[in-house]
Amino acid sequence: MSLKVDDIITFERTFTMEDVELFTKVSGDEGTHHTTPDDQGRLVIQGLLTATLPTKVGGDNNVLARTMNFEFLRPVFTGDTIICEVTIEKYEKQDNNRISIVAAFLCTNQNEKQVLRGNFAGVIL
């Protein structure tokens, strides 16, 4: 995929109980809100699990991240479908044949409520 400034990449994911259980094991983030269902039978998704959505763009494009900034705006629950929109703000070839990249992102839930926003910067090797 060849990126350029102002490109917008959009994708979505629905989080499951299994996602939370696996991330709990990997991260050690065992807060009761991640392990005990609420009165609607849902678990709260770990913030950093939600934050894997914008990192997908980096993975898809071989980005070596240097900085990542996240602002968690509201909880995400199992069963929620999160739509992530990543906007490329900078994409420049450097002297060392690497590409410098900066992107901003906004994630919303199925009810169009913002749940996460931020940005990342890095290089493409």
Residues 91-119 have pLDDT tens digits of: 999 988 899 999 999 999 999 999 999 99
Residue 67 lies in a domain: yes
Residue 62 lies in a domain: yes
Give the N- to C-terminal CA distance of the chain in Å, as an integer. Answer: 14
- Is the confidence at residue 2, as pLDDT, over 90? no
Residue 18 lies in a domain: no
What's the number of domains the chain is made of?
1
Residue 38 phi, psi (nearest 5): -80, -175
Residue 101 lies in a domain: yes
Torsion of CA 117, 101, 61, 4, to 10 degrees: 100
Residue 26 lies in a domain: no
Residue 1: what pLDDT?
Answer: 55
Residue 33 lies in a domain: no
CA distance 74 to 58: 24
Residue 30 lies in a domain: no
Give the pLDDT confidence of 21-76 residue by residue, as tens digits.
999 999 998 889 999 999 999 999 999 999 999 998 888 988 999 999 999 999 99
Structural domain that includes position 111: 8-13+46-124
% of the chain beyond a pLDDT of 70? 99
Neighbouring C-alpha atoms within 13 Å toward the C-beta of 10: 6
CATH classification at residue 66 = 3.10.129.10
Alpha-helical regions (H) of 6-97:
17-27, 32-35, 47-50, 52-60
Residue 2 lies in a domain: no
DSSP assignment letter at 45: P
Residue 97: what pLDDT?
Answer: 86
